């Protein structure tokens, strides 16, 4: 019985030696390196985006909490102010707009939470109606 040997992706020299050429190995290493570098860039981008999303979520929760505090404040006692969130050190400020003729007995309250590293602030607007 005669056996046949099938060689795939191998080169055979005249003296019977088998193997990959140096060029093939270098190209394989280059392709692998480019793929790994691409994945590293993707990971760094994902980490940066997740950090940005986390600060937006945190700032939104802080702003919503401040709006809730102002919502529970009596209408005539509301005044502009600012503070710093103790957990995150994000500055919080709010302004109280005057009553407008179009909407009597209301005040527009704007809560702004400033995020670090030059990121855009999170701004919530809330319309407070006179207490019943």
| Domain residue spans of the chain | 20-129
The pLDDT confidence band at residue 103, using thresholds 50, 70 and 90, is confident
For the residues 94-119, what does the mean pLDDT come to?
Answer: 86
Pick the residue with more confidence: 37 or 4? 37
Closest-CA residue to 79 (of 94, 66, 64, 62): 94
Which own/partner contact pairs does 119-122 have at CB distance under 8 Å and 24+ positions apart?
Answer: 119/52, 119/55, 121/59, 122/56, 122/59, 122/60, 122/62, 122/63
Q: Which tens digit of pLDDT belongs to each residue from 16-64?
A: 667 788 999 999 999 999 999 999 999 999 999 999 999 999 999 999 9
Distance CA 94, CA 48 (A): 29
CATH code: domain 20-129 is 3.30.1300
pLDDT of residue 33: 97
Distance CA 66, CA 63 (A): 5
Q: Which tens digit of pLDDT belongs to each residue from 75-102?
A: 888 899 999 999 999 999 999 987 777 7
pLDDT of residue 2: 59
Pick the residue with more confidence: 76 or 13? 76
pLDDT of residue 1: 56
Q: Please, are residues 95 and 110 in contact by the beta-carbon 8 Å criterion?
A: yes
The pLDDT confidence band at residue 4, using thresholds 50, 70 and 90, is low
């Amino acid at each position: 019985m005669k056996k046949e040997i099938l060689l795939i992706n191998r080169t055979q020299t005249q003296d019977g030696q088998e193997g990959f050429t140096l060029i093939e190995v270098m190209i394989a290493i280059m392709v692998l390196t480019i793929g790994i570098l691409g994945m590293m860039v993707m990971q760094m981008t994902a980490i940066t985006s997740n950090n940005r999303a986390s600060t937006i979520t945190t700032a939104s929760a802080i702003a919503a909490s401040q709006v809730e505090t102002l919502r529970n404040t009596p209408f005539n006692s509301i005044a502009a102010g600012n503070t710093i969130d103790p957990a995150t050190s994000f500055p919080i400020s709010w302004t109280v707009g005057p009553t407008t003729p179009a909407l009597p007995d209301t005040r527009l309250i704007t809560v702004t939470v400033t995020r670090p590293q030059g990121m855009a602030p999170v701004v919530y607007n809330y319309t407070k109606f006179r207490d019943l």
